[in-house]
Structure 1
Amino acid sequence: MSSFLAFTVFGLVSGAAYAIAASGLVLTYSTTRVFNIAHGALGMLLSFVFWDFSVRQGMPTPLALALVLLVVAPAIGWFLQRFVARGLGDAPVSVSLVVTVAILVATLGLAQQVWPPEARSVQPFFAGTSYEIFGFFITAHQVLTIVLSLVVAIGLYALLNRTRIGTAMRASVDNPELLKLFGGQPERVAALSWAIGTSLAALAGVLLVSTIGLDYYALLLLVINAFAAAILGRLKNLPLTFVGAMSLGLITSYASGYLPTEGLLNSVRNVVPALFLFAVIVAMPQAQLRIGQVKGIVSAPLPSPFKALGWSGALLLGVMLLASGMSEANLLLVGTAATYAIVMLSMVLLTGYGGHVSLAQITFVGVGALAYVKVDQPNLLGVLMAGLVAAGVGALVALPVIRLTGLYLALATLAFAVIMDKMIFQADFAFGFNGSLNAERLSILTFQVETTGAYVWVMALFFVVMGLGLLVVRAGPLGRMLVALRDSPAACGTLGLDQRWFRVGLFAVSAGMAGVAGALYAGLRGTVGAAEFQFFGSFTLLLLAVVFGVTSVTGAALGGIGLMMLPVLQADYPGIAGLFFVVIAVGAILLARDPNGLANQLFRLGNMLDRRYGTRVRERIPVLPVPGGSLGGMRELARAEHDANAQADHTLDTVGLGGAPGPDGTDGRKETAGVQ
């Protein structure tokens, strides 16, 4: 009986902290329509600030707590709303997800930079004070946590439903223009919501830090628990959110106390919040179609077949030349870059073309690597089977939430990634007792690819073939359908398009591409382990894809190189390792509304150079005979392509769709539903 009471009290205390964090998340979303994935990360950062004030600076605990909750946290929330999240409520869900993921990564990098890893501890409030209830002792800190959760829940409910400022908060979401007519200021109201939400995240982190310790990732994972409770309350119902948080705390505590300590059920302890989140998402009602004006997004131009084949050949030739003179260690880095580039190709299809965000792409890479090793077919068949297994897993993730889109779909992939990372990949039947497995390099038509240089070239060939396949899809009717679904789901629904199964297929193909990358990576490294496929890697993958361009094959190639260089730079410059995360996050925030990223700047530079020097270069290309006996050759082909592109640009400029920069400084070449 005493153990049950102990687990109950611990569950209530944990649930109370989850309720505080989830309440702040609900407040932010219900008043600004921005789902802040970085909510838990902000709580982590401010917990470190509290430790710095109270322990390192020696401030009295009440003063340190007051400074964190009433000064630092509100200032951070105001800054984020004013300069980072402003206007995100009206942006596509994919944009708001990218921006908040960027805030999460920046927060983690900043915490690691300011407070390098070392042993730290925070004493609970009123340490040494406890009360006896039915023979069980409950500490004053635990009582305070439960009381504060009730105060927060009641206070927020009263704020939103019984005060003028709460009415203004809700009105700022429903009709900000009408609020302005009545003298309201929607931006100030949104800033207040972010300030209060960030303070609540800080309070939850400070209350939990004495229990779970000052650990970057343990505190960051608090967000999973807050997500689950907030989703149960449908992101607007505070009482139901409170009930969900308390229920989750009790379930987690009982699972920790009563589940077996061996076997698969033992790992369930670590994924109860993720399982709870996934179950709640599956139970969500049908998502409504997004309606309104059909709006295109500025998109990178498609290259002509001549250019695509030319650049593909140049890439393969360049990799061949590099492979002939590189050391083994550098070749492994190039192969890793090719792996990431293929994974980013899967994101070009899913996010760039389809408009969906997955937070589990690295997990699908791990599924492909594991399948390749377990199938034990080091050949093209093994790679194909690994891709099919990953595609099947991707479809299984999308099937339970087939009715949902946007935010809920992304959160379902996050929950799946956490489950796979903490439960499946860590199990003995997956990567073994030692956490790693050996893999053989593939053979192609009885030809064994033995040298690392040859294997890296084969990986580049896979990237080229898959990239060309994506370009063919994008230029065809299937690609136009993807763009139409991305830009106007309601219009596609009225035309009878079955979007749900189309979305499942899209997720499956994207996951299959990531699985192929995982199989190739396993053959490259020779040994793969669970630590290489942790779910957090999907965050940096998403951000770098956006920075370099998630709508183009060129952006995927550049993003693969950038992601490969990240740990190299952090190892070479350990003193500023955390700042690299901050730089990537800032780049993603700046480019989130332009998914073409840095690749599009290269396209513009190439077009400028072509206009200035292209004619002279083409004139110097020798005339070569072509099949059929007629003269023409490369110069004529290049000139014909240049003339055709110029005529197309002139036509687009005439109708106002291309070429010249638009009023916002962008390219101006846009896509609308079914129109390129």
Structure 2
Amino acid sequence: MSDYLPFIVLGITTGSIYALAAMGLVVTYTTSGVFNFAHGAVAMVSAYAYYTLTVDWGLAPELAVFLVVLGLGPLVGVIVDRGLFRRLQGAGSAAYVVVSIGLLVALQGLVIIMYGPTSKPVPPIFPQKVVDLGAVNVGYDQIAITTIAAGLGLGLALFFKRTQTGLDMRAVVDDPQLAELTGANASRTTTLAWMLGSSFASLAGVLLAPTLGADALVLILLVVQAFGAAALGRLVSLPIAYAGAIGLGVLGQLSIKWVSEYASGQTWLSGLPQSLPFIALFTVLIVSKKGSFKELTKSVQARSSSQTLAPGSRRFPAIVLTVIVGVGLVIPSLATDSRTTTATTAMAMLIMFSSLSLLLGLSRQISLCHAVFVALGATTLGHLQADGVPFLPALLMAGLVVVPIAGLLAIPAIRLSGLFLALATFGFGVLFQNLLYNTSWVFGTSGQVAVERPTLFGNLLDGTNEFYFFVLAIAVASVVTVELVRATRLGRLLRATADSNVAVETLGINTTAARTVVFCVSGFFAAIAGGLLSSQVTTVGTSSYSFFQSLIWVAVLVAAGSATLGGAALATTMLVAIPAFFTDADVINYQTMFFGIGAILLAQAPNGLVGLVTNLPNTRLWGRMADDGPARAGAHATRRRQRLAPTSATPTSVPATGATR
């Protein structure tokens, strides 16, 4: 037993930090109805702020912690609540998911621009001493972290049960209008909750920083492990979230010992310790009884049923497709080899964005694991080629391999929606990356897979132009298929289901098959895109398809326009063309930051930038484009028709002395 005590102590310490982050999530969600995907980003920013105060400015660690946790944390909470989420009142849950993802992506890009991609060493907060308990040595920092988490957890529970402000917070989420009638200030109460939740996230980030260093991606990933603990408490229970975090922390540390001793030959188990919170997240969402997880956003935001993402065009985009094909055919004659190579990547990415738009723009389901589909398409193609399968059959088989996996994800798509579907797909994406990327049937222990260029009519398409036209042909065929899905009965059914699933089901139509098919079709074409991208570079590695790529792709597609082919084409241009023309090392980081900002600003715009440009002729003022441009344009057209109507039309008045019949 003594061999396990150090792992248990370390697990309780780690779990205590998870508990702080999880309790912060529960506080903001139960009060505002908003689940903040950027919770880890708040912790990351706080860790870097602590680094700046201690290392760059030379402040004492205690003072730095005070300024960050009680100064920066509440300030971020106010900004997030009043500057971001408050303006979304009346929007559907998808708007909040997109904005929080945009905030995460923007903050990560900003921090890397300011501090660089490498980890920064952070000075400790507590004395580096230990207490000898006989069987195990316990550090002062471990005692302090555990005590702080337990004390704050108890304090929160008492705060919600014994104080008027805590009671107001619980009342606001149920019915803000009724809470106002009892004397509670719903707006102020929600802001206080965000200040409190962000302070908890800041504290978690500061406590992690001395051990892990200030690292943008690592801090985000570790703090979001609190999602699993929060899910165990169904996002509303502080005691269960706290206990779940401690349990996951202990199990994670014990699994490290178990893997090192008993499963050292199983490479896929090496990612088990950091995967346990995401196993809990995904499992709880999948196996819970339907209706167990209820979104609070609608009750908070005036019970509006409005949606974030535009329903998309019902017509086949022949003009847009013709322009894409025309431009694609002339590129090799006008561009250099390097530019043609960029265009080849763009055509493959166009397939990926088109497949993602089936979920975001057509069925309005947010999937945060698209990088998994792309990675599987790339690696499966390489493995099949190594077994002697020709390129085209191998590419088709790579797409088909992903179909049952996408069908598996259709299970939460059927049972869940909005926030909880996004959480389930996010957990699946991180889980797949941690557990299966290093297995032999994905990237293997080397972390990379070789892929060969295709052979057509006995000739290897190793030339830049030849391979480009090959990818262009597949891209056109794929995009046409995707657009046919939009324009056919399946597309109409998915649009109707997105508008009101209950209304469709009352007509006797089973929406389960439609949701399953759209996930499978989307996964298939994402895998095709992955195969083409991998054959472009001939070697593909794990770093190309991390879970964070899925978040960036969602952000850029929402900013560009997720409902039409034009939006997918614009997203491709924004993601691929800009780094090709600007070679500065910081361009990608600035690009990431602006994608996040774009998703924040355009979450409620009709079809992103494409929608704004399309609706521009119908608006009077630029500032009214996203809000009431279409409505005002329609009213203006009605008044104009009335003015031009013949005077012999239906009379609008009768003589004063006449009788009305």
Residue 146 of structure 1 deviates from its aligned partner by: 0.7
d(CA) in 2 for partners of 1:393, 1:371: 13
Distance 1:502 1:309, change over 3 A: closer
Residue 544 of structure 1 deviates from its aligned partner by: 0.5
Q: Which residue among 359, 380, 387 is the counterpart of 2:399?
A: 387
Partner of 1:574: 585
Asked if 2 retains the 8 angstrom alpha-carbon contact of 1:33 and 1:89, the reply is: no
Give 1:471's aligned amino acid: E
Partner of 2:377: 368
Which whole-Å deviations, capped at 9, do the CAs of 1:94-141 have from their partners, x for residues lacking one?
A: 211110011111111121122224453223333233211133211111
The question of 1:584 aligning with 2:595 is answered: yes
Partner of 1:277: 281
The question of 1:665 aligning with 2:629 is answered: yes
Partner of 1:242: 242
Q: Which residue among 265, 271, 274 is the counterpart of 2:269?
A: 265
Which whole-Å deviations, capped at 9, do the CAs of 1:568-594 have from their partners, x for residues lacking one?
A: 47x723356543322221111110012
Asked if 2 retains the 8 angstrom alpha-carbon contact of 1:452 and 1:524, the reply is: no
Give 2:392's aligned amino acid: L
Distance 1:567 1:131, change over 3 A: farther
Residue 427 of structure 1 deviates from its aligned partner by: 2.8
Residue 276 of structure 1 deviates from its aligned partner by: 2.5
Most deviating of 203-212 and 86-95:
86-95
Most deviating of 411-420 and 391-400:
391-400
Distance 1:112 1:415, change over 3 A: same
d(CA) in 2 for partners of 1:431, 1:43: 31
TM-score where L is the length of structure 2 = 0.87
d(CA) in 2 for partners of 1:494, 1:427: 45
d(CA) in 2 for partners of 1:199, 1:464: 50
Distance 1:13 1:669, change over 3 A: farther
1:217-616 correspondence runs (5 A): 217-259=217-259, 260-263=263-266, 264-287=268-291, 295=306, 299=310, 302=313, 308-376=317-385, 377-399=389-411, 402-443=414-455, 449-565=461-577, 567-568=579-580, 572-574=583-585, 578-604=589-615
d(CA) in 1 for partners of 2:58, 2:93: 43
Asked if 1 retains the 8 angstrom alpha-carbon contact of 2:311 and 2:495, the reply is: no
Give 1:243's aligned amino acid: A
Residue 300 of structure 1 deviates from its aligned partner by: 7.3
Residue 446 of structure 1 deviates from its aligned partner by: 6.5
Distance 1:167 1:89, change over 3 A: farther
Distance 1:301 1:204, change over 3 A: closer
Partner of 2:68: 68
Residue 222 of structure 1 deviates from its aligned partner by: 2.0
Most deviating of 179-188 and 94-103:
179-188
Residue 449 of structure 1 deviates from its aligned partner by: 3.9
Most deviating of 102-111 and 427-436:
427-436
Residue 285 of structure 1 deviates from its aligned partner by: 2.2
Partner of 1:634: none
Residue 443 of structure 1 deviates from its aligned partner by: 4.5
d(CA) in 1 for partners of 2:462, 2:580: 26
Asked if 2 retains the 8 angstrom alpha-carbon contact of 1:323 and 1:454, the reply is: no
Distance 1:190 1:375, change over 3 A: same
Q: Name the SS for the 1:10 alignment partner.
A: helix
Give 1:322's aligned amino acid: I
Partner of 2:13: 13
Distance 1:406 1:304, change over 3 A: closer
d(CA) in 2 for partners of 1:524, 1:447: 16
Asked if 1 retains the 8 angstrom alpha-carbon contact of 2:378 and 2:540, the reply is: yes
Give 1:35's aligned amino acid: F
TM-score where L is the length of structure 1 = 0.85
d(CA) in 2 for partners of 1:255, 1:481: 46
d(CA) in 1 for partners of 2:459, 2:93: 47
The question of 1:113 aligning with 2:117 is answered: no
Residue 38 of structure 1 deviates from its aligned partner by: 0.7
Partner of 2:92: 92
d(CA) in 2 for partners of 1:89, 1:375: 50
Residue 394 of structure 1 deviates from its aligned partner by: 1.1
Give 1:203's aligned amino acid: L
The question of 1:23 aligning with 2:26 is answered: no
d(CA) in 1 for partners of 2:562, 2:163: 44
Residue 451 of structure 1 deviates from its aligned partner by: 2.5
d(CA) in 2 for partners of 1:293, 1:176: 14
d(CA) in 2 for partners of 1:298, 1:51: 39
Partner of 1:50: 50
d(CA) in 1 for partners of 2:275, 2:59: 37
Most deviating of 290-299 and 56-65:
290-299
Figure out how many residues of one structure are paired with residues of the other and give that number.
616
Give 2:376's aligned amino acid: V
d(CA) in 2 for partners of 1:503, 1:188: 40
Q: Percent identity?
A: 32
Give 1:29's aligned amino acid: Y
Distance 1:78 1:447, change over 3 A: same
Q: Name the SS for the 2:184 alignment partner.
A: coil
d(CA) in 1 for partners of 2:419, 2:319: 39
Residue 144 of structure 1 deviates from its aligned partner by: 0.8
Residue 374 of structure 1 deviates from its aligned partner by: 1.9
Q: Which blocks of at least 5 consecutive residues in structure 2 are unaligned?
A: 635-661
Distance 1:287 1:132, change over 3 A: same
Partner of 1:153: 153
Aligned-residue CA RMSD in angstroms?
2.7
Asked if 2 retains the 8 angstrom alpha-carbon contact of 1:298 and 1:667, the reply is: no
Asked if 1 retains the 8 angstrom alpha-carbon contact of 2:562 and 2:607, the reply is: yes
Give 2:629's aligned amino acid: G
Q: Which blocks of at least 5 consecutive residues in structure 1 are unaligned?
A: 610-659, 671-676
d(CA) in 1 for partners of 2:355, 2:246: 39
Give 1:262's aligned amino acid: G
d(CA) in 1 for partners of 2:287, 2:487: 37
Partner of 2:639: none
d(CA) in 2 for partners of 1:472, 1:398: 21
Most deviating of 489-498 and 74-83:
489-498
